[in-house]
Structure 1
Amino acid sequence: MVRSRNPLSLIIFALSALALAAALLPTLLPRLRLLSAHIPLPHLAAFKFSQQHSMASSDYTKELNIALLAVQRATLLTKSVFHSHAKGTLNKQDASPVTIGDFGAQALIISALQHNFPDDEIVAEEEAKDLRENENLRQTVWDLVKNASLSDASAEKELGGSIASPKAMLDIIDKGDSKGGNKGRIWAIDPIDGTKGFLRGGQYAVCLGLMVDGDVKVGVLGCPNLPVSDSEPLTENIGADATDQEGKGVLFSAVQGQGANSRPLGKDSLASASKIQMKPISNISEATFCESVEAGHSNQDDSVKIAQKLGITKPSVRMDSQAKYGSIARGAGDLYLRLPVKKDYVEKIWDHAAGDLIVREAGGQVTDVEGKRLDFSLGRTLKNNKGVIAAPKDVHKHVIEAVQSVLSSKQ
């Protein structure tokens, strides 16, 4: 015998069920999100949460690995160009040179970043306009790019393998057009930092940094002409007549909060890393300071006066590129001075992002001439900073005082 239900009781039951569901909903939704992130159940496939962050790692392990491999692969191309007689040199609007190596290295690095982090933005120095207009130059760069690969197949696969075509290469080069800023994940690339040094057989660097919300989190420098050994001191002639012979070529790297490392540059998988630290300075008068080779990049007369105020008698070591950052981070040098030549000159973020982090993670301090941290959150330039001063933390204040004393005397 089936008992009939009172309609009023059914209504009360339904209302009670709805009230219970409403009460449980705030608790259930977060659990569903957690479940969808960790258990690939078919009926939870509709829940898509932050696709970009799922491709990134919270401790930047993947970002560091890809950055190291990408820079190492790019240096294979730059070394090939370094040994060639015709480097395909052009002059940009600001009269600075760009070579086929700049274009090729940028294409290889952006290709690797796009394969692994397709939602990230990229700020890079070069654009493909000249290659689109010059068929011979385009073909030369393409020949370099298609033949540049790591000999380790698994490492090459991690980077996404070869670029598909010359057209794809041009489009990839032009992906470095981000305006930068203080939001999101942005990579800064200088495919050949120190192009003039590269052209004359001196020091140069392939540079890559990751900024998250304007803060540098990962930095990598590939320096093919620096000694592998961290214990080898800087010499006065290191900025000229360099070769990538046996015992030369080093990768510097850092992740925010995890220290800085160096390892030999190779042709396949990554070599083992060694921790690096800036050298303690007991007597600042014995410090070795680095500056740019080009007088147009840093005021060398002011550097001499600052050295005199600090009691430093030995001459500066002049070398191109962010290799200076790597050199002082490993203790081969001590100070890096880049002093303003013109009042209106503004530094580019790709010239400093990686090196800034590597020195700071090695125990140093990097500021402008006023003692302010370099601000990478304002776009493609360091518009709020003038000059760069890098030194061990315990002497940085004394260096800044000497810098300000010299600069104020000119006003």
Structure 2
Amino acid sequence: MSYAKELLVAQLAVQRAARLTKQVFADSAKGTVSKSDASPVTIGDFGAQALIIAALKKNFPDDEIVAEEEAAKLREDDSLAEHVWNLVKGTRLDDEKAEKEVLGGSVQSKDEMLDLIDKGDSKGGRSGRIWAIDPIDGTKGFLRGGQYAVCLGLMVDGDVKVGVLGCPNLPVDDAAELSADIGNGEGRGVIFSAVQGEGATSRPLTTGALEEGKRIGMKKITDLSAASFCESVEAGHSNQGDAAQIAQKLGITRPSVRMDSQAKYGSIARGAGDIYLRLPVSKTYQEKIWDHAAGDLIVREAGGQVTDVLGRRLDFGHGRTLAENKGVIAAPAAVHDQVLKVVQEVLSV
């Protein structure tokens, strides 16, 4: 089955949402509020989610949506809602055809915006078409001026078929070496995308029509000691001590690159890095599907393998979380088993 329309809509929806997030990113006051789990959310999260869902509902009205945010905070605070609404109604692509024919034009009212945000309340599952949205993945990175990603994936019967990542602070150049300060300098903004069975691509992130994409692939590794790996900035997201031991056992001498968001998936998919480790920090924590769906597919379509620490493929059919998985290991397919073996040795699993 072709997913050409789904891919086009997803790419343009992410591109439009990324334009909104960049406006907020440039503002020193990002309109931050806290959710019940104490994690931060910004006006950019709300606005980007509304724009993406608007595009999905225009094109695929019967599809379900699993999204990270809900509009309760906005309904309680009209001034905050008004701030988000001003962003949403003012954000359009420069390309009129893409804006009207593909995305369906602008959101018509503040009430419509709030209702759209709340349409991301699907429970997920193993049947039907379900989109997973993280409007700003890596909110803490977004707030500190680092890496973040606008993430969108389509699952059909629990299997990811389309994945798109908009990474406004990654360099366009696929050959740019992965480093802690990779987001500094000119030429930033890239969109990664993949369709199951069709490979993965990258293209510059623009404010209008899509630029031409080019195929990307993971770097071929012959000597693991020369490999590089990336992990989360937040120690609460991944066990950094265990990661250091794993790197030592693999003979990796280069320090890890710590960055926020699914920008890590995109970076290794195009060969800027080699291995991504997200190691369990709690026996009870469950990863959210919107944090991994797009990146998982993009890495696999670029020649990589993605599993949990027990060697199981990530299972997106259990609802809103990866309930049956623990941690994430993403690496080139040829060396994934080697990495997995050492991970299991260090974690004693």
* Alignment TM-score, normalising by the size of structure 2: 0.99
Question: Could you say what the CA RMSD is over the residues aligned between the two structures, in angstroms?
Answer: 0.8
Match of 2:238 in 1: 298
Q: Which runs of 5+ in 2 are unaligned?
A: none
Match of 2:35 in 1: 92
User: Aligned AA for 1:59?
Assistant: S
Match of 1:36 in 2: none
TM-superposition CA deviations, 1:214-252 (whole Å, max 9, x none): 0000000000000001011111333xxx46x64100000
The runs of at least 4 aligned residues of structure 1 exceeding 4 Å deviation read: none
User: Aligned AA for 1:119?
Assistant: D
Match of 2:99 in 1: 156
Bigger Rg, which one:
1
CA–CA separation in structure 2 for the residues paired with 1:247 and 1:206: 18
CA–CA separation in structure 1 for the residues paired with 2:44 and 2:179: 27
Match of 2:169 in 1: 225
CA–CA separation in structure 2 for the residues paired with 1:112 and 1:280: 37
Match of 1:13 in 2: none
1:216 maps to which of 156, 160, 171: 160
Match of 2:149 in 1: 205
* Alignment TM-score, normalising by the size of structure 1: 0.84
1:48-63 equivalences under 5 Å are 58-63=1-6
Match of 1:81 in 2: 24
TM-superposition CA deviations, 1:315-353 (whole Å, max 9, x none): 000000000000000000000000001111100000000
CA–CA separation in structure 2 for the residues paired with 1:280 and 1:213: 32
Match of 1:236 in 2: 180
CA–CA separation in structure 2 for the residues paired with 1:113 and 1:237: 34
- Number of residues of Structure 1 aligned to a counterpart in Structure 2: 348
CA–CA separation in structure 1 for the residues paired with 2:189 and 2:180: 18
2:78 maps to which of 131, 135, 138: 135
1:212-291 equivalences under 5 Å are 212-238=156-182, 242=183, 246-291=186-231
1:195 maps to which of 129, 139, 143: 139
The higher relative CO (CA closer than 8 Å, separation ≥ 6) is in 2
Match of 1:166 in 2: 110
1:368 maps to which of 285, 308, 315: 308
CA–CA separation in structure 2 for the residues paired with 1:64 and 1:237: 31
Q: Which runs of 5+ in 1 are unaligned?
A: 1-57
CA–CA separation in structure 2 for the residues paired with 1:91 and 1:193: 15
Match of 1:389 in 2: 329
CA–CA separation in structure 2 for the residues paired with 1:91 and 1:286: 41
User: Aligned AA for 1:232?
Assistant: A
Q: Percent identity?
A: 72
SS of the counterpart of 1:123?
strand
